[in-house]
A and B are shown apart, each in its own frame.
Chain A
Amino acid sequence: MRQRLLTVIALAGVLVAACGQSTSTPSPSSSKQGGTLTVAIGVAPDTLDPMRQTTTTIQNIVQMAVETLVQVNKQGQLEPLLATSWSHSSDGTTWTFTLRKGVKFSDGEPFNAQAVVTSIDRALDPTNVCPLCGQMPKFVQSVTATDSDHVQFTLNQPVATNFFLGNLSGVQFGILAPNTIQKGTPAYKDDEHPVGTGPYILQEYVSGDHVTMVRNPNYWGKKPAYKEQIIKIVPTAATREALLRADQAQVILDPPTADLPSLESDPNLKVLLAPDDRTIFISLDTVSTSQPLLQKVEVRQALNYAVNKAAIVKGTLYGAAVPMTAPMAPSLFGYCKMPDQYNYDPAKAKQLLQAAGAEGMTLKLISPTGRYIQDFQAAENVASYLRQVGINVEGPTTMDWPTYISTINVPPDKATTDAGLLGWAPGFLDASQQMVIFDGPLQPPKGLNTAYYNNPTVNNLISEAATQLNTTKRAAEYCQAEKIIWNDAPWIFLWVQKFPIAYSAKVTGVSYVPNESFNTIYAAPA
């Protein structure tokens, strides 16, 4: 098949391939070698199998050992990793990847095209569990090794470049040593000891206690500074902080939010409020029959003007967020800043409510507790602002997470609340992953469009952009959709969360990817 080079070998990629070092990996400011780095996290791994993963933090740990064909860098851009370049046919249905040479798995097996085919086939096997494989099993018809260094993906239909590569950057499509995941073996279904090509090797996981990663002496790229990283599981945020202060952990994720100012002022510690892609919002029932006033655009806009998001971010979230400036986070491809912002304007809110005949309207509000940064406290703040413009807010009421999801993720006729606080982190940094939550056909139970928002123009733009191979046109389509959504206000657009990481001043090179990911691979003693 005639191949046309369209999206290939970014200059950075060539450089990376040439020097054998990834641009996403921050270079430590010192070249000191270290012994053990202890990182405390709050969530215990349910599985370490890349294919079965659903939790970003655990994916970050797995990514220390398992690499993907492409990866997302600190700027949120896609770049080569195990593939050095790629191209697709003019109709966008055949993709060819050139693989990095001289790479070996940590068990000594050679990395080649057949290894890629084995891993991808496993993830796409419908009898396997791969919650984050998304639409890929539907789009990918076959994966073949054309020779030892080239892999070809044949798709059923053209898909946008960022969409396809974004999917492949997920650890669920990580490349595992083929001998360890042979079909017919238990590991084919569930590989709890993944063997990859990464800078670290998974040494052990003591259930509920810690994961130990040791440096891969034969890593193809730049070697990490720390010989060993222990990822300690500590569910209580205050205890994680104690570990850091006692120097029993050098890096902690999600310290207690209220302690951020005190951690920031401690000269022995550093706080990184990493950019994130998780938007926090109040989903409004746009087709509510119990509160039909919510069907009016002006009412929903009024709710947006009524809430002082900047003040809540400062006072309740201690700066661990930035108010939304579009229906998605700035780190996503396709983001464009909205020309008219919903700045705090209670007078305008009252005026809009009055014009819509919605003065004194009642609004039932629910919120989870402990799922997002200061979520319930923020919902209480929102309720207070809404009351100030004359809205009779019932709530916020709260419940545990499974109950919450089963309350809010229901078809419109089963809805029992008018508004609910939610957070959404896109599968990867592409507008398509945020738009699923505004896509009309993807209302519960088919999807998580909990506002039941359904605008045919937006739906068409989303469909067009999904298969649009022209990147500029695709960005424009998303931008147009965002403007319509912003104006329709199916949400009270709140903020984009940040990802707080606190670490010892004795450590440098602690980094992130703007999708709620931490990266300590190239951390080093300061």
Chain B
Amino acid sequence: MLTYVVRRLLIAIPTLWGVVTGAFIISRLLPGDPARIMAGLNATQQQVDRLRHQLGLDKPLWVQYQDYMGQLLHGNLGFSPHFSAPVAAQIAQRLPYTAELAVLATAIAVVVGVTIGVLAALRRNTLLDLILSAFAVFGVSMPVYWLGLMLILIFAIDLRALPAAGADSPQSVILPAVTLALFSIGLIARMTRASMLEVLGQDYVRTARAKGAPHRRVVLKHALRNAVLPILTAIGLQFGGLLGGAVLTESVFGWPGVGQLLVNSIFYRDYPMVQGLVLLFGVTYVVINLLVDLMYAYVDPRIRFD
């Protein structure tokens, strides 16, 4: 197992190098002058030039790349010119918010999505299946922007029950987490339903029923456990996506996470911050994928990594 983990982590290094290099190149290909954006329209050209020099943006591109990679190898994500602060410090301030949001949204999505998927599979082609499947499609199809505002309208303005925006009270996370979860609920529910339908038709499920196992045990122990592998993959990918992809939700709810940070960094052409965040998302995906693979072995004892 340990050898497997080490091997996977080693394989991740060239992947992450590719991610960082890609982010470096793409951010430089974007039109726009970071020094001008940072200095503002009212700044003189002399001030803009001085700023460009201070930021090292007047150096040849390959020198900038060399400097950046050198920093990275020393564990330094660089310095954000927009925030005039270390990239790592800014990310460290914002990441807990996004992590909180992503974990809660995933928890909601897993509980609700798997429940809906299992129920829909068990009541296949009934009205309940139709309603649950329609709800799942609704979740996947609704634009986050619209859905978020509707939830704000109902729960913050009409019912005055929850905060509309910000992160200053424990209840603040509820609306953004539900908004974010709805998309994943749809996907997880559909995946669970399909996977359960496949498993429910298997011989071992019929055998379990034939030997008189209770319905609950058949569903949860025999069917769901075997159906869970593709669902786990979906959950893993969703979680990774939530960490990086909460951009719109964070904007709608004024949630101070890394999604908003990324959008602002792109608008301000804050290259080191964009690169740092892309690297963070790359690392997140690598780690989540690895964890999902390791969980396979836990869920399905037949899978061994040695």
Residues of chain A whose beta carbon lies under 8 Å from any beta carbon of chain B: 40, 44, 46-47, 49, 52, 54-55, 126, 129-135, 190, 192, 206-210, 230, 232-236, 238-240, 242-243, 245-248, 399-403, 405-407, 409, 424-427, 433, 445-448
Whether B38 and A208, one on each chain, are in contact in the complex, defined by CB atoms closer than 8 angstroms, is: no
Chain A residues, Cβ within 8 Å of B252 = 236, 238-239
B70 within 8 A of A: no
B4 within 8 A of A: no
Pick from A44, A126, A245: contact of B264, CB below 8 A.
A44
Which of A208, A407, A445 has the most C-beta atoms of chain B within 10 angstroms of its own C-beta?
Answer: A208
Which of B45, B166, B267 has the most C-beta atoms of chain A within 10 angstroms of its own C-beta?
Answer: B166
B202 within 8 A of A: no
Apart from A52-B84, A234-B166, list 11 A-B contacts with CB within 8 A. Answer: A40-B165, A54-B42, A55-B40, A134-B43, A207-B93, A210-B166, A232-B254, A238-B149, A239-B252, A242-B152, A242-B156
Whether B168 and A246, one on each chain, are in contact in the complex, defined by CB atoms closer than 8 angstroms, is: no
| Given A235-B254, A402-B37, A427:B42 Cβ within 8 A | yes
Chain B residues, Cβ within 8 Å of A46 = 38, 82-84, 268
Pick from B50, B165, B167, B260: contact of A242, CB below 8 A.
B165
Q: How far is the CB of A381 from chain B (nearest CB, A)?
A: 24
The CA of A99 and the CA of B156, in the complex, are separated in Å by 49
B90 within 8 A of A: yes
Whether B94 and A239, one on each chain, are in contact in the complex, defined by CB atoms closer than 8 angstroms, is: no
| Given A236-B252, A403-B31, A54:B38 Cβ within 8 A | yes
Whether B267 and A402, one on each chain, are in contact in the complex, defined by CB atoms closer than 8 angstroms, is: yes
Chain A residues, Cβ within 8 Å of B45 = 445-447
Whether A131 and B33, one on each chain, are in contact in the complex, defined by CB atoms closer than 8 angstroms, is: no
Whether A134 and B254, one on each chain, are in contact in the complex, defined by CB atoms closer than 8 angstroms, is: no
The CA of A433 and the CA of B252, in the complex, are separated in Å by 36
Between-chain CB contacts (< 8 Å), 24 pairs: A46-B84, A46-B268, A49-B84, A131-B51, A132-B40, A132-B43, A206-B256, A209-B168, A209-B254, A233-B254, A234-B254, A236-B254, A239-B149, A242-B152, A245-B157, A399-B31, A401-B267, A402-B32, A402-B268, A405-B33, A406-B31, A424-B41, A425-B42, A448-B41
Whether B152 and A208, one on each chain, are in contact in the complex, defined by CB atoms closer than 8 angstroms, is: no
The CA of A225 and the CA of B101, in the complex, are separated in Å by 36
The CA of A401 and the CA of B36, in the complex, are separated in Å by 11
Whether A402 and B168, one on each chain, are in contact in the complex, defined by CB atoms closer than 8 angstroms, is: no
The CA of A255 and the CA of B217, in the complex, are separated in Å by 55
Q: How far is the CB of B43 from chain A (nearest CB, A)?
A: 4
B160 within 8 A of A: yes
Total number of B residues with any Cβ neighbor in A under 8 Å: 51
Whether A210 and B168, one on each chain, are in contact in the complex, defined by CB atoms closer than 8 angstroms, is: yes
B164 within 8 A of A: yes
Q: How far is the CB of B170 from chain A (nearest CB, A)?
A: 14
The CA of A75 and the CA of B98, in the complex, are separated in Å by 44
Whether B84 and A47, one on each chain, are in contact in the complex, defined by CB atoms closer than 8 angstroms, is: yes
Which of A47, A242, A447 has the most C-beta atoms of chain B within 10 angstroms of its own C-beta?
Answer: A242
Chain A residues, Cβ within 8 Å of B268 = 46, 402
Chain B residues, Cβ within 8 Å of A129 = 51, 54, 84
Chain A residues, Cβ within 8 Å of B164 = 239, 242-243, 246, 248
The CA of A52 and the CA of B84, in the complex, are separated in Å by 9
The CA of A131 and the CA of B84, in the complex, are separated in Å by 13
B284 within 8 A of A: no
The CA of A399 and the CA of B267, in the complex, are separated in Å by 11
The CA of A275 and the CA of B167, in the complex, are separated in Å by 33
Whether A209 and B267, one on each chain, are in contact in the complex, defined by CB atoms closer than 8 angstroms, is: no
The CA of A474 and the CA of B264, in the complex, are separated in Å by 42
Whether A239 and B41, one on each chain, are in contact in the complex, defined by CB atoms closer than 8 angstroms, is: no
Chain B residues, Cβ within 8 Å of A238 = 149, 252
Nearest 6 CB-CB pairs, A to B?
A402-B32, A208-B256, A54-B40, A234-B254, A209-B256, A131-B39
Among residues 34 to 69 in chain B, which have CB atoms less than 8 Å away from a CB atom of chain A? 34, 36-45, 47, 50-51, 54
Pick from A235, A400, A425: contact of B260, CB below 8 A.
A235
B251 within 8 A of A: yes
The CA of A236 and the CA of B252, in the complex, are separated in Å by 5
Q: How far is the CB of B305 from chain A (nearest CB, A)?
A: 40
